[in-house]
Structure 1
Amino acid sequence: MLSRAIMGGRKAENNPVKIIERCRKENRPVFVAGPMVRYSKLPFRQLVRQYNADIVYTPMILAREFVRNGNARMSDFSTNWQDSSLILQIGANNVTDLVRMCEMVRPFVDGVGLNCGCPIKDQVREGIGAALMSKKDLVADMIRTVKEKFGDSLPVEIKIRIHKDINETVEFVRCAEDAGVDFITVHGRTQNTKSSVPADLDKIRIIKEHARVPIISNGDCRSLEDAYRIYKKTGCNGVMAVRGVLYNPAMFAGYQKTPWGCVELFWDYFTSYGLPFRLAQHHLSCMLEGQIPKALHIELNETNSMVEMVDFFDNYFELRRRGDKNFGQRIGLSYRKVEK
């Protein structure tokens, strides 16, 4: 869907660097919806923007596949003129693929992000993601080459993890800054730290204290309250939520759980733009987890087609469509029948 992307260039006010500066003047954190494999597709990105997300990421897209395969480009990246501010996250292990991909996507994004933190073993074996945390010179070369070619017209971010020795991370950040990176997202865990272990906000704070570019904190943000707590604890410029927005796309708007209007909006977006059934099902299952009885949740997860899922919602809930009164406005769940 690249051909349907924004025409006439990107709007200056949606440049992520300008958004970070604007939020600084407003004395608040930048709210960032981070990249999720498979799940940060166009319908979901449109949804979180309705609930105060300032910057939104695509899933990580592998540069080597994207630049060589037209089918990969069509399936991995779709956008439209409303899809902004948008950062396309790239998985790359060499300068050539990264620059070629940036050339292809530059008209359609507000910035690119180089993933230096993904701990998935298959990616690490390929020298992608967290494998780059031990290759600061390569990362610097990749950043420098992109910035020399595109300058301020294409902001570049890197998403990193911390090392056991925080001094190593500080040096990594310094190399990236010297190469021209525009801002950095720091996940407060090492490559091998389990997600059940709290993110180390103290180490993120140390990185922020030494950094010359804006720093976005990542890890353990599941509510608006978390976002402000992390913002104050780390002194960072913004806070990225990933799993938090998956389960509650409205969290940055202050909702403690997904409002029913959000569910209706998501139905409207994914049926309008298109989304594979299983991805749509997973999104809805996450949004409603803990809000509907267990038996109903199981029944939702056992639907096997879009038709079955539509019938499920229409049988049990008042699912309003665009044009209906109060579409996308209601907070609490609206049951059509007595729940099981």
Structure 2
Amino acid sequence: MKLKKNIVELFDEAKTNNSYVKICAPMVRYSKVQFRTLVKNYGTELTFTPMILADSFCQNSKARTNEFSTTTSDSPLIVQFAANNALDFADASKLIYPYADGVDLNCGCPQKWAMKDGYGCALLSKPNLIFNLVREVKNSLSPNFSISVKIRVLDDLKKTINLCQQLEKCGVTFLTVHGRTPQQKTGDSINVAALEEVCKSVQVPVVANGGIKTLQDADTLYNATKCNGVMAASGILTNPALFSGANRTPLSCVKLWQTFKNKDKQKITFQCYHHHLVFMLEKVLTKQQKLVFNHLSTFEDVDEYINKYLYEPESDFNYAYDLDDFLVCDFPDEITLKHSHKCRGCSKSVCYCTCSKYDYDATDGSFFTSYIETKDSSDYMDSNIFNEYDSG
């Protein structure tokens, strides 16, 4: 059975302790169950899946297999969906209900492909549609199942506050607010004052997001805004032990990442394994070492390099969360068959159907990059380490 956690209680516990919930953000390609389990061993208290397209998840078994996997102890867990109609969002939420503690509606992704298809930040100009999406799920599932929304601040602070207040009336469990507008660059400063005003304006918990590189950054943002949670994205990729107070990735964390990979190499692609290590070792390897490490191409080569150059004598790390039994998810036919006749078509940014020009069975994860432009701004990443390395 899947362990369950009441998300309201999670925020209440933090508030009682005069603290905040430490959260790993939904990150395209990177918030897989292996990484979620890793960060939980270093102080992270709540994790999100990558953003999943609700319609594809309902329509296609490939999408469900590629986009979601979980274990018996993968909790507390929020599954984030991108949706632009109530039926898709509600049915996707019903499918995922037995395996998660809540769902989140992405209204903060500024990437061009998402905006083109009416997802992410495109929804911010359609508040009534957001309200309908939330109400549909709220009315369909248990009141203990968390329903949240992730947004960005708008240029007009009053509109931002009004949106949050209306979402509170719709029954959201909590809100996540990214401190940049949809038009801002990822390197721009976040609007701390706006986040503070949002936190004051609603009674539901508010999670602050943006620009978190260290535990001190998170503490500072919490003290400035009195938020109920702090979410880290690129900072926790670079250092999965961020919320433990470590200034860079501990070698125990690298070793544990290897351990999780070795438990079942069929459950993780080489691209995922290697890319995480590139991020994790950004502050550990020298520039010359990065030039070599970043171009390794096999599991064996990566592990050999780490074992040769990185391991130092240290005490064993006693981790609390293991990558234990994977669940075989059973998705009811009465829901999936309703959607199976639909096809998003090649005019859409992402399609798992046979009409697609992309190979969604690719084991190297290439289907992710086939529709996301590398230079497109991202709701999930505050920097592009790979572009930096590739340019020398």
1:305 to 288, 291, 298: 298
Residue 155 of structure 1 aligns with which residue?
A: 146
Structure 2 residue identity aligned to 1:280: Y
Question: Residue by residue, what CA displacement relative to the aligned partner does 1:81-129 show, whole Å, maximum 9, x if unpaired?
Answer: 1111100111111000001101100000011110000001111111111
* Separation of aligned partners in 1, 2:31 and 2:215: 20
Using the TM superposition, give the Cα deviation of residue 311 of structure 1 relative to its aligned residue in structure 2, in angstroms: 2.0
The question of whether the paired residues in 1 share the 8 Å contact of 2:237 and 2:280 is answered with yes
- Matched ranges for 1:1-340 at <5 A: 7=1, 10-11=3-4, 14-273=5-264, 274-318=267-311, 326-328=315-317
Structure 1 residue identity aligned to 2:104: G
* Separation of aligned partners in 2, 1:272 and 1:123: 35
Residue 4 of structure 1 aligns with which residue?
A: none
The question of whether the paired residues in 2 share the 8 Å contact of 1:36 and 1:58 is answered with yes
* Separation of aligned partners in 2, 1:175 and 1:151: 21
Using the TM superposition, give the Cα deviation of residue 145 of structure 1 relative to its aligned residue in structure 2, in angstroms: 1.1
Q: Secondary structure at the match of 1:139?
A: helix
* Cα distance, 1:82–1:151 mapped onto 2, change above 3 Å: closer
* Separation of aligned partners in 1, 2:318 and 2:87: 47
* Separation of aligned partners in 2, 1:33 and 1:142: 24
* Separation of aligned partners in 1, 2:260 and 2:308: 21
The question of whether the paired residues in 1 share the 8 Å contact of 2:55 and 2:83 is answered with yes
* Separation of aligned partners in 2, 1:40 and 1:17: 22
The question of whether the paired residues in 1 share the 8 Å contact of 2:24 and 2:233 is answered with yes
The question of whether the paired residues in 2 share the 8 Å contact of 1:199 and 1:220 is answered with yes
* Separation of aligned partners in 2, 1:147 and 1:190: 27
Q: How many residues align?
A: 317
The question of whether the paired residues in 2 share the 8 Å contact of 1:186 and 1:216 is answered with yes
The question of whether the paired residues in 1 share the 8 Å contact of 2:3 and 2:74 is answered with no
Give the stretch that moved more between structures: 288-297 or 245-254. Answer: 288-297
* Separation of aligned partners in 2, 1:112 and 1:264: 31
* Separation of aligned partners in 2, 1:277 and 1:189: 33
Provide TM-score, normalisation by structure 1.
0.90
* Separation of aligned partners in 1, 2:115 and 2:262: 35
Q: Secondary structure at the match of 1:153?
A: coil
Structure 2 residue identity aligned to 1:244: G
* Separation of aligned partners in 1, 2:99 and 2:312: 33
* Cα distance, 1:10–1:291 mapped onto 2, change above 3 Å: closer
Q: Secondary structure at the match of 1:78?
A: coil
Q: Secondary structure at the match of 1:236?
A: coil
Question: Residue by residue, what CA displacement relative to the aligned partner does 1:245-282 show, whole Å, maximum 9, x if unpaired?
Answer: 10011010111111100110111113324321112111
* Separation of aligned partners in 2, 1:84 and 1:302: 34
Query: Any stretches of 5+ residues in structure 1 without a counterpart?
Result: 1-6, 331-340
The question of whether the paired residues in 2 share the 8 Å contact of 1:31 and 1:54 is answered with yes
The question of whether the paired residues in 1 share the 8 Å contact of 2:251 and 2:311 is answered with no
Could you tell me the percent identity over the aligned residues? 36
Provide TM-score, normalisation by structure 2.
0.78
Using the TM superposition, give the Cα deviation of residue 304 of structure 1 relative to its aligned residue in structure 2, in angstroms: 1.1
Question: Residue by residue, what CA displacement relative to the aligned partner does 1:160-218 show, whole Å, maximum 9, x if unpaired?
Answer: 00110000111111221111111000000110101111110100111111112110000
The question of whether the paired residues in 2 share the 8 Å contact of 1:183 and 1:213 is answered with yes
Query: Any stretches of 5+ residues in structure 2 without a counterpart?
Result: 320-392
Structure 1 residue identity aligned to 2:210: G
Using the TM superposition, give the Cα deviation of residue 329 of structure 1 relative to its aligned residue in structure 2, in angstroms: 6.5
The question of whether the paired residues in 2 share the 8 Å contact of 1:59 and 1:89 is answered with yes
Give the stretch that moved more between structures: 241-250 or 146-155. Answer: 146-155
Question: Residue by residue, what CA displacement relative to the aligned partner does 1:280-300 show, whole Å, maximum 9, x if unpaired?
Answer: 111111111122221111111
Using the TM superposition, give the Cα deviation of residue 317 of structure 1 relative to its aligned residue in structure 2, in angstroms: 3.3
Structure 2 residue identity aligned to 1:148: N
Higher helix fraction (1 or 2): 1
Considering Cα pairs closer than 8 Å and 6+ residues apart, tell me whether 1 or 2 has the greater RCO. Answer: 2
Runs of 4+ in 1 over 6 A off after TM superposition: none
Structure 1 residue identity aligned to 2:41: Q
The question of whether the paired residues in 2 share the 8 Å contact of 1:260 and 1:328 is answered with no
